């Protein structure tokens, strides 16, 4: 279980997280929704220790990681996999080398074993046979799927998804959504997804949390969220420019 | 005005601190296993082997032009044979290390800033952190080690070819006696001149790789930021190479 307790974070005068509290349950898909630039990615980077909060605690399986040094953080990070917004594949390496990277770094497996896992993970994301291609030869959707294959290479306990469907066509978005559901159920991992794709969110989430003005204003199951009377949440879900959430 | 000066000073001090801390981190990670020999060799090829052509050209023509220029002066009092020693001393003490460093800086230092900067803005450096791999160890250490090893090697090449360039111009174009030219070099050039030049090149290798990596590592602001980081890396490294050249020269010679 991951608990974020009273998290505050500012960049200069810009307050991004303002006393945020959130509990993420083990073995579930939790989707954090909110407007672009609202601090969702910053929140995700706090969970994996890429950003430290100004105040508050981040507890992963009971351990507060906010005071951890690099070595301790690295130990915790081995529990995680992360799919970045633009996949963040190493462009000097082939697809296969990208997926093999965490295995080469953190295991003592032989090359033949690593190659077997690379092929298995690629087939899991529906991209068999592209291990010798370079990232620059791939489409946006393929890059994200390779990024996902890399994220699951070490069979992590928790996978973070930073806007996994942004910039993809509806069909590819649906494929990525299905992959998240499949991987979560097969590996029984905890998934934390940052998104503003409402349709996809309602499909994949066990729990949805809405981030607004640096705090979680509402959280619950997709059914509860759909029925919510919170005007901010309703405006966001219905995608209306008019409402309590000021756009301009 | 005072507040502007204050902000400017704080900014400079902060950046210097950041550069120094990153260097300390790199030195600490350099000592800790695993040692990434493959990555170091790859960077040595990039910094050294791929710079060799430009270093050869710079060395040959600098030696040649030195011979031409010094000949003009020495001819006035009939001491043309001193051209050889002037070329050899200038190349080994000063021009070999400095020009090699400036050329490698333009080629490899800028490329390091651009590569790491692109990795930063496309979240590849964050991806390394997430995969529990320290990017200072993975990206910066091999580049610094390669720079520190390869700059002296390139400087030797530059020194040697500079003297060869000077020899060809002096002997074949300016009709200086070949034996006198070589004897003059052997008489005045000491091993210390070469070693001091090579010592300087080690510092230059450290400066150009570290500043290139630093500017790339802390790049902000997309493609524009990468361009800015690359330009700044070359300018700052070049200035630091020239300043440190003066300091090292005044200490060593």
Q: Which two tokens stand for residue A86?
A: 């633009």
pLDDT band at A1; cut points 50, 70, 90: confident
Is a pLDDT exceeding 70 seen at residue A248?
no
Q: Kindly tell me the burial class for residue B95, based on how many C-beta atoms sit within 10 Å of its own C-beta (0-12, 13-18, 19 or more).
A: buried
CB contact under 8 A, A91 and B124: yes
Q: Compare all CA atoms of chain B with the CA of A47 and give the residue at the minimum distance.
A: B130
CA-CA distance, B92 to B191, in Å (whole number)? 10
Q: Both ends of chain B: CA-CA distance in Å? A: 42
Q: Which of B45, B127, B134, B139 to mutate to test the interface with A (most CBs of A within 10 A)?
A: B127
The three-class DSSP label of residue B48 is coil
Find, among B145, B151, B132, the residue nearest to B198 by Cα: B151
Q: B78: pLDDT confidence band, cut at 50, 70 and 90?
A: confident
| Residue B80 pLDDT level (bands cut at 50, 70, 90) | confident
pLDDT of residue B130: 95
The 10s digit of each residue's pLDDT in B102-131 is: 999 999 999 999 999 999 999 999 999 999
- Tell me what pLDDT residue A71 has: 87
State residue B5's pLDDT score.
93
Neighbours of A123 (CB within 10 A): 12
Chosen for mutation from A52, A98, A105, A163 (greatest number of chain B CBs closer than 10 Å) is: A105
Contact A214, A190 (CB under 8 A): no
Q: Where are the alpha helices (DSSP H) in chain B?
A: 2-31, 37-47, 52-75, 83-90, 96-104, 110-121, 124-130, 135, 141-167, 178-188, 191-217, 222-252
Query: Do the Cβ atoms of A169 and A199 come closer than 8 Å?
Result: no
Beta bridge partners of A83: A161
The minimal CB distance from B132 to the residues A78, A84, A86 is found for A78
The minimal CB distance from A50 to the residues B119, B129, B133 is found for: B129
Look at residue A187 and tell me whether its pLDDT is greater than 80: yes
Nearest CB among A82, A85, A90 relative to B130 is that of: A82
Contact B123 A77 (CB under 8 A): no
- pLDDT-based confidence at A207, cuts 50/70/90? very high
Residues from chain A that touch B131, judged by Cβ atoms under 8 A, are: 77, 101-102, 105-106
Mutate to test the interface with A, among B25, B129, B138, B221 (most CBs of A within 10 A): B129
Cα dihedral sign for A11, A14, A15, A17? negative
Note the pLDDT of residue A247. Answer: 66
**What residues are paired with B215 via a beta bridge?**
none
Task: Give Dmax over CA atoms of chain A in angstroms.
Answer: 58
Number of CB pairs < 8 Å for A and B? 47
Chain B nearest C-alpha distance from A236 (Å): 28
Model confidence at A108: pLDDT above 90: yes
Q: 3-class DSSP state for residue A22?
A: strand
Cα separation, A229 vs A81, whole angstroms: 35
Residues A233 and A148: their CA atoms lie apart, in Å, by: 29
Check A74 against B134: CB less than 8 A apart: yes
Model ipTM?
A: 0.91
List of chain A residues whose C-beta atoms are within 8 Å of the C-beta of residue B119 = 90
Substitution target in A82, A143, A161 with the highest count of B β-carbons within 10 Å is: A82
CA dist list (Å): B149 to B24, B44, B45: 18, 8, 11
CA distance B30 to B136: 9
Which chain B positions have a beta carbon within 8 Å of A48's beta carbon?
129-130
Chain A residues 102-161 within an 8 A CB cutoff of chain B = 102, 105-106
Residues from chain B contacting residue A75 (CB–CB below 8 Å): 132
Least Cα distance to A84 among A141, A177, A163 occurs for: A163
Angstrom distance (rounded) from CA B145 to CA B83: 36
Examine residue B34 and say whether the peptide bond preceding it is cis (omega within 30 degrees of 0): yes
pLDDT at B86 over 70: yes
Report chain B residues whose CB lies below 8 A from the CB of A102: 131-132
Q: Rounded to whole angstroms, what are the CA distances from A167 to A228, A230, B20, B86?
A: 28, 29, 40, 64
Window 37-96 of A, Cβ < 8 Å to B: 45, 48-50, 70, 74-75, 77-78, 80-82, 84-86, 88-91
| B127–A90 C-beta distance less than 8 A | yes
User: Given a cut of 90, is residue A244 above it in pLDDT?
Assistant: no
């Amino acid at each position: 279980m991951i608990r974020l307790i009273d998290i505050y974070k500012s960049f200069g005068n810009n307050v991004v997280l303002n006393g945020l509290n959130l509990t993420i349950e083990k073995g579930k898909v939790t989707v954090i929704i909110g407007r672009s630039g609202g601090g969702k990615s910053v929140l995700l980077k706090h969970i994996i220790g890429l950003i430290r909060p100004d105040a508050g605690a981040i507890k992963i399986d009971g351990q507060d990681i906010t005071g951890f040094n690099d070595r301790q953080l690295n130990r915790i990070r081995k529990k995680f996999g992360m799919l970045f917004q633009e996949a963040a594949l190493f462009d000097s390496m082939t697809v296969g080398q990208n997926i093999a990277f965490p295995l080469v770094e953190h295991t003592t497996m032989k090359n033949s074993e690593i190659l077997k896992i690379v092929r298995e993970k690629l087939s899991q994301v529906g991209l068999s046979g592209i291990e010798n291609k370079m990232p620059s030869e791939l489409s946006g959707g393929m890059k994200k799927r390779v990024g996902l294959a890399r994220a699951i290479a070490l069979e992590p306990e928790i996978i973070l998804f930073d806007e996994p469907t942004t910039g993809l066509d509806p069909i590819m978005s649906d494929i990525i959504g299905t992959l998240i559901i499949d991987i979560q159920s097969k590996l029984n991992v905890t998934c934390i997804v940052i998104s503003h794709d409402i349709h996809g969110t309602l499909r994949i989430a066990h729990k949805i949390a809405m981030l607004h003005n640096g705090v979680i204003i509402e959280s619950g199951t997709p059914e509860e969220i759909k029925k919510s009377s919170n005007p901010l949440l309703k405006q966001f879900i219905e995608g209306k420019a008019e409402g309590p959430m000021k756009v301009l | 005005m005072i507040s502007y000066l204050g902000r400017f000073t704080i900014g400079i001090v902060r950046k210097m601190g950041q550069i120094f801390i990153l260097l300390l981190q790199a030195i600490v990670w350099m000592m800790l296993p695993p040692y990434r020999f493959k990555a170091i060799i790859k960077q040595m090829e990039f910094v050294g082997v791929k710079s060799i052509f430009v270093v050869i050209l710079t060395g040959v023509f600098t030696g040649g032009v030195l011979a031409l220029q010094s000949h003009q002066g020495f001819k006035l009092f009939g001491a043309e044979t001193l051209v050889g020693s002037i070329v050899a001393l200038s190349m080994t003490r000063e021009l070999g290390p400095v020009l090699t460093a400036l050329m490698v800086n333009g080629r490899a230092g800028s490329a390091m800033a651009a590569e790491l900067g692109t990795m930063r803005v496309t979240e590849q450096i964050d991806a390394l952190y997430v995969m529990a791999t320290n990017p200072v160890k993975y990206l910066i250490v091999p580049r610094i080690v390669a720079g520190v090893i390869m700059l002296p090697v390139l400087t030797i090449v530059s020194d040697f070819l500079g003297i060869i360039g000077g020899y060809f111009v002096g002997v074949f174009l300016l009709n200086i006696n070949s034996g006198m030219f070589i004897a003059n070099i052997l008489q005045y050039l000491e091993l210390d001149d070469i070693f001091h030049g090579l010592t300087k090149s080690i510092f230059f290798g450290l400066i150009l790789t570290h500043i290139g990596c630093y500017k790339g590592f802390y790049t902000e602001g997309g493609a524009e930021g990468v361009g800015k980081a690359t330009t700044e890396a070359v300018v700052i490294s070049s200035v630091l190479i020239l300043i440190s050249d003066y300091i090292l020269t005044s200490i060593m010679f």
